[in-house]
Amino acid sequence: MHAASSSDLDSRSGHVPSGGTGVRLSAAVTTHPRRRHEAAALAASQPGLGFEVIEDPDPDGPRSALRTARLAWRRTDPAATHRVLVQDDMRLVPGFGRLVHDAVAAQPDRILCLFTEWGSRTSPAVRLAALAGAGWVPLLDPYVPTTAVVLPAAVAHALAEFPAEPGEPDDVLLWRFAREHRLTPLVSCPNLAEHEPGESLVGNDVLLGPRHSALFGGGAAPWDRVLAPRMVPHLLLFEGIAVCQVPGADGGWTAVRADDFLAPSGLTIPDLLDRYAATAARRDPAGRIRRVIADSLLLQLWLTAFCFGLTACDLLRDAPPAPISGKLYESSPAELQFPGNCRTSDAVAAALRGARGRAGMETFAPGLLRRFVPRHRLAGLARLADPMVREAISDGCAHAGQAHDLFWKDSLQ
């Protein structure tokens, strides 16, 4: 999707422009009367932002977050440049207000999502951004995460009057609005908000499973850097199939089966099965992982990680040697042994050892498999699957070093 400026929208709508003399935030927590206490506590946790609490105007009506969202959009302070909206079941990083101010100052004309759940289509891109040192990734999902989002004021005012389709939720309406206005929402790395466990008023906890952050954390981030991956791997939420998401002609993303994406490089399905079997034999000789994850599904997780290594190698190909100390790249007892035939292997390995790289790996397996693994087993899944996931990433990086140019074919873009 082409990244148009929201100032273009300002000139059409006559609303307060998003640029000007500085960032002025208007913040709100959206809630239902049943969760009034949680909303008030969240607002009180960030006194510097002056959160107002906005409740569902029709709490006895059909379950929908759109009514409250539309009211929150409409009540954007006319003097504000941006509207910060957070739902009542979120937890915010320390220093949230300052971080949001800095993020908005760097990307004043963009729709900024401060959360994406750990199994979303965008979540692997957030993990890749942690390795590449980027502060943002383009949204890949067919909805905009409205759980914690910052909107230019002009966008918020326009959304208040934007017609909804029957039964359309607020996150899909915002995504459709963005597409119609050729705006590309960005998702932050790290996420500045985390989803707290609890009952979803619209049933998402049952339908989608736990929805933790892909990479939750605070601290400084390179808010001026937006990752531009040529491919983002993913494990499909309902099908459990590994795909490679590539930029489409319409500005969106197209999902290609992982084996089809890899075929031009000479890897056949039997080749992939052999590689998977060899990794499983080395990293899970007693079958402990396969007592939790079905072999057929573990294959797809391995394939997703393999493709993750491939695109990590592509993104870090020209990176300088990564330091192995300091806040971002802290040393770790778990040393990766990456093959030397990928010339960026040292950079990828160091990034995976870093604080944010490790944080991304902790959500990799449980996030992608949250609908397939019993909830009580998710907490230990990262540690259980980590050896296989990391070796698959290593293998993908090595293969990228051998056959790099064969992946980026026009037929798959």
Q: How many domains does the chain have?
A: 2
Residue finishing a domain among 165, 192, 208 = 208
- Give the pair of three-digit tokens for residue 43: 């607002």
Shared domain check, 130 and 40: yes
Separation CA 284–CA 384 (nearest Å): 9
Cβ density class 223-244: b for 16+ within 10 Å, e for less: beebbebebbbbbbbeebbbbb
Residue 174 has pLDDT above 80, yes or no: yes
In a domain, 218, yes or no: no
d(CA 63, CA 207): 15
Q: Which of 208, 223, 242 lies at the terminal end of a domain, its last residue?
A: 208
In a domain, 56, yes or no: yes
Q: What is the CATH number of the domain that holds 33?
A: 3.90.550.10
The reply to whether 327 and 403 lie within a common domain is yes
Report the pLDDT averaged over residues 87-101: 96
Which string of DSSP letters, residue by residue, matches 152-196? EHHHHHHHHHPPPPTT--HHHHHHHHHHHTT---EEESSBSEEEP
Please report which confidence band the pLDDT of residue 257 belongs to, taking 50, 70 and 90 as the band edges.
Answer: very high
Enumerate the β-bridge partners of residue 235. 242
Residue at token pair 């990086």 = 397
In a domain? residue 160:
yes
- At residue 197, the pLDDT reads 80
Per-residue tokens: 220 = 């400084």
pLDDT tens per residue across span 329-342: 223 333 344 444 44
Is there a single domain that holds both residue 60 and residue 135? yes
Question: Does 222 reside within a domain?
Answer: no
Kindly state whether residue 1 falls inside one of the protein's structural domains: no
Output the pLDDT for position 208. 65
What is the pairing mode between strands 112-113 and 148-152?
antiparallel
Amino acid identity at 84 = V
Judged by phi (left if over 0) then psi (alpha if -120 to 50, else beta), residue 244 lies in: beta
Contacts of 347 (CB under 8 A, 6+ apart): 316, 319, 320, 321, 322
Confidence of residue 198 (pLDDT cuts 50, 70, 90): low
Of the residues 156, 173, 208, the one at which a domain ends: 208
Q: What's the confidence (pLDDT) of residue 2? A: 42
Question: Domain range spanning residue 28?
Answer: 6-208
Average pLDDT of the chain to the nearest whole number: 87
Q: Return the residue matching tokens 């990752």.
A: 227
Angle, helices 355-368/345-353, rounded to nearest 10 degrees: 80
Residue 202 has pLDDT above 80, yes or no: no
